[in-house]
Chain A
């Protein structure tokens, strides 16, 4: 029988792994297993253009015409439920199994839900295409929206809903939104976009519960405030989809890491022939001196090339990518690259926060370690490149 690689998870990281296998001259079978019935699609537009109705299903499809030539065998709509201890067979929920010589774990993450919100109509999370379709339908009715969590996805949903004409309130437990990724100072600057565009932002207050029978009627806050509403979006982060690996022997992180699949810098897990990539993977980071689960689109796109090389036995040194993500809110383009830590000093190097157009460098011991741009794509790109010291290629 010809050699087989099973890719579990049919989204950005899984498709990128399949493409990388072919790009690296792997000629065997590639079976791509996905629990969603949809062909791979792009998630970032789900809170932006797709939710607003300006991007279509076609626009967000990930597959390109050239992908036809990859010769992939798709098992869509079929969740994987287990991996045998040698990592040589993936068990599917329809009782079948896929025998494989190599396995790529790319099962991503799912949105965390608010305990007690199950079964209440009008309460949404946003992770999948189906989530986005359901939310879009509810938003189309107009009215009031409460977004729980002022992270990037929460902020983008708030922005899109404002554009659709809803009355929007965002509730955040932390005193300053986005302080984790951006630091308190710049988190506060980005959060001003809400007020600029007529979204009410309530910080430093938790959610006590949701009121309503059958359908949500209000969000009750820990400070006693009651926010009557028609729709609620819960944007309180994501948890990696790794429960199905519980008895596989694959090493998973502990709670603080969110149970991601532990890998080395090259994507290798503790089981030979099994690699992990994208949102489900907590890869060792030498600069951070710990495993880091990066939930960025660009990581899910780029990491698979290295992991696949590991799987195929190539031994080049692991690249040291500079983490990068973007967010589009209220027409503002936010971009961030690098690794920021508490204590790094944020310095405006171009533009001004008041103009909502700036470039900020985060410095540690006088050296830039990260960069944040708002509406400064050209300058941002140059700074981002400096962080990763470019190697020019001749024509």
Chain B
């Protein structure tokens, strides 16, 4: 597990990029935390820089939307989903488990 930050450092509507083998983006959606690959599958934008809209993030470059729960892409130009990663919140800290898909993700 990689420690990300204290929960208070990632308020609702915000995202943070975590360095791992492949960088990971962690989002706070109204108190629920989600983690996906940070690099867009279209080109090389950082999804942590994107726009959070409900449970989806819109890529900051060409606006493909990825579902934070499943990693699925809902519109062009990206064609490939991103991976999701399990997030664990313990004692006020946010952690990610790289490579373990989020519960309920396809």
Contacts and interface: CB of A to CB of B under 8 A. Distances in A.
Contacts of A393: 53-54
Contact of B62 (A298, A394, A395): A298
B53 A378 contact: no
Contacts, number: 47
B9 interface: no
Given A297-B62, A378-B60, A64 B76 contact: yes
Nearest to B73: A64
Interface residues of A, number: 24
B98 interface: no
B50 A381 contact: yes
A181 to B, nearest CB: 18
B9 to A, nearest CB: 16
A392 B13 CA distance: 11
Interface string A364-395: 00000000000001101110010000101111
A251 interface: no
A330 interface: no
Interface size class for chain B?
20 to 34
B63 interface: yes
B77 A381 contact: no
Contact of A378 (B29, B49, B55): B49
B51 A392 contact: no
Interface in B49-90: 49-51, 53-55, 58, 60-63, 76-77, 79
Given A378-B49, A393-B54, 17 more contacts: A49-B43, A65-B79, A297-B62, A298-B62, A298-B63, A301-B63, A326-B61, A326-B62, A377-B46, A377-B61, A378-B48, A378-B60, A380-B60, A390-B51, A393-B53, A395-B54, A395-B55
Interface of A: 16, 19, 42, 49, 62, 64-65, 297-298, 301, 326, 333, 335, 377-378, 380-382, 385, 390, 392-395
